[in-house]
Structure 1
Amino acid sequence: MAANPLRTLDSFELLKLGKASVTVGGLAAGVLIVAVALFAARLSSAGLRRLRERAAGDAASLYIVEKVLTYGLVIIGVTAGLSTMGLDLTSLAVFAGAVGVGVGLGLQGIIKDFASGVSLVFERLVAVGDFVELPNGGRGVVHEIGPRATRIRTNDSTDIIVPNSVLVNDQVINWTLRNTNRRLRVPFVTAFGSDKNKVREAVLKAAKAAPYTSPDDAVRRAQVWLVGYGESSLKFELVVWPTVEAVRRPAAIYAAYTWLIDDALRGAGIEIPYPQRDIRVRGLFGEEGEDALTSLKLEPAARRRKAAKVAKPGSSNDAAADLEREDPDEMPKPPPPPPAKT
């Protein structure tokens, strides 16, 4: 009886490694198992990704499940595929170790990023949805943590690809860790002589009315601080706690509060200062002091003050005039008549 050609092809030996031999049938079955595992990993990843988009509160936990399940299916599929091909994995241990050392030296950067990605997924110090600031100043929301790199999207819709090792080994600021907000300080200035309480009330009223300001509580509340003096101004800071959603847009929230403060100060009639300079002229046409003022037909300040003092004998301070009365029931004394002109 003639041999079945398909059976002969199935048992045809392609490769022999020690006592193990790889046949056409084993190779086909192994490739099929690996392909099924990859398909299952992709399908499960897509399903969990859609579920993660709907469940905002458990997005980080679902992301960990997605990555663990995807990596696990791939590893199991590759291992089962190699075993089905007829390869004895125990006999390949020494060979794999030698190859692993060589590959590790050549691909140590990729392996380092992969290990860092696994660390990020499980430690959750940086999770999907967090707003982070990188060492180079780049800021954005973490959209995906891959096996080698993390994709961060800025508020300008620009994607930044960051190696996972950078997020693990370098100093990274996570503005929304554990889904909490942060305090923001917005500086502003007013003119010298401005009523501090009026400034505080106007700015706080506007800040608390904004929809992007978190409500006050026992620990976190909006404040206005007087922090110093400028050349021609009083320096203030609005210390406020924006909402978590607003924290993810730092440039926009800073500009929004600055605009709000300007409207509040103008609405309250509080002056916003401009740089001022006083110029004192010591000499004019070779003359100084009162001689120079006389040349310009101007009156010295001391002479003007003396004249004003003579012309206005009464006091405009009502409280001081009231204190001059000995009897509280006594009517206020009328001011003395002005001196007769001669």
Structure 2
Amino acid sequence: MDMSWLDQELIKVGNFSLLVGELLSFFVVIIVTFVLSRVLRAAFQRLAMRQGVIAHTSAYVIGRIIHYIVLFIGFIIALTALGMEMTELALIASALGVGIGLGLQGMVNNFVSGLVLLLEKTVKVGDFVELSNDLVGEVMAIYMRATLIRTNDNVDILIPNAELVSGLVTNWTLAEKVRRFRISFSVAYGSDKELVKQAVLEAADNVPYTLSSVGREPTVWMTGFGDSSLNFTLGVWVQPEQVKRPTALVSDYLWAIDDALRKYGIEIPFPQRDIHIRSTVDIKDCAE
């Protein structure tokens, strides 16, 4: 088979010439690099799960670092396959430095921020986070440029890594997976406060994912006097799997509280106003 076509020259710039074979070698190395990275990460994940000595989040971090290292080495080998020497690679590195300084600093910032997130583990895959713009969701993946967050409505949102490093992020599950929720409710003036407390604690016990261990028992606080009501708050610790569904959780507790208040005949208030009418007409004038 005649393979002379591989030696055909495509581009010649000064002393550098690009052959067809070298270009094919470049793409083959790039493809092999991505395949090798995927195989190594999958093998490491299986090994970590089988041995059980590395946590899921740590395995994810190590897998991403392996991915970046393999890509870097593969890219250098691919450039070498093009026939480039070290001096030419140094020129490319200098050009990249100029490009970063002019227009790629945002991308590099996001990449470095992604490494910070992976190494610090302040935001990990599986965490449930809340951002300063009130976005709430679960971290699904941390990529080179952005972090994938999935909301409870199954909406996937990509957040630049730099925003997670420099912005305000509330991590609901950083240290512990359990969390206390505060459920506000009101009753009418004149209601028996002890009976209200009994009814609401009973309602909390009826919700199946309520925790009642020592130090994490449900609690009822009286929080103020409203225009037409006595205001209370139920503080309740819940199981880890419920932390990631706050809207449904609040609905479940409000539903149970309403049923309990109706059971004990405790009135739920509604807005009302007392109207006082003053007359400026003298009674004698009215008699005439």
**Interval of TM-score (by shorter of Structure 1 and Structure 2):** 0.7 to 0.9
**1:29 lines up with 2:12 in the alignment:** no
Structure 2 counterparts to residues 210-229 of structure 1, below 5 A: 210-218=207-215, 220-229=216-225
Alpha-carbon offset, residue 224 of structure 1: 0.3
1:158–1:49 distance in 2 versus 1, CA, 3 Å = farther
Deviations 1:261-315 (A, max 9, x none): 1111111111212333344556699659xxx9xxxxxxxxxxxxxxxxxxxxxxx
* Matching of residues 43-122 of structure 1 within 5 Å: 43-45=39-41, 58-122=55-119
- How much does 1:163 deviate? 0.9
Using the TM superposition, name which of 178-187 and 279-288 deviates more.
279-288
Correspondence list, 1:154-303, <5 A: 154-218=151-215, 220-280=216-276, 287=283
Using the alignment, how far apart are the partners of 1:280 and 1:162 within structure 2?
56
Change beyond 3 A, Cα 1:18–1:148: same
Structure 1 residues 99-133: Cα deviation after superposition (integer angstroms, max 9, x where no partner): 42224421111111111111111111111111111
Distance 1:278 1:41, change over 3 A: same
Residues 7 and 19 in structure 2, CA contact (< 8 A), matched pair in contact too: yes
- Any idea what SS the aligned residue of 2:220 has? strand
- Bigger shift: residues 190-199 or 79-88: 79-88
1:42 Cα offset (Å): 3.3
Q: CA deviation at 1:137?
A: 1.1
TM-score, normalised relative to structure 1: 0.72
* 5+ residue gaps, structure 1: 293-342
Contact 1:216 1:222 in 2 (8 A): no
Change (3 A) 1:243 1:52: farther
Q: Which has the larger radius of gyration?
A: 1
Per the alignment, in what secondary structure is the counterpart of residue 107 of structure 1?
helix
1:262–1:48 distance in 2 versus 1, CA, 3 Å: farther
Identity %: 45
Give the count of matched residue pairs: 284
Tell me, in whole angstroms, the C-alpha distance in 2 between the residues paired with 1:160 and 1:180.
Answer: 23
CA distance in 2, matches of 1:256, 1:89: 66
What is the alpha-carbon root mean square deviation over aligned residues?
3.3
Name which of structure 1's ranges 114-123 and 275-284 shifts more when overlaid on structure 2: 275-284
Which amino acid in the other structure matches residue 110 of structure 1? Answer: M
C-alpha change, 1:27 and 1:194, in structure 2 (3 Å) is same
1:337 aligned partner: none
TM-score by length of 2: 0.84
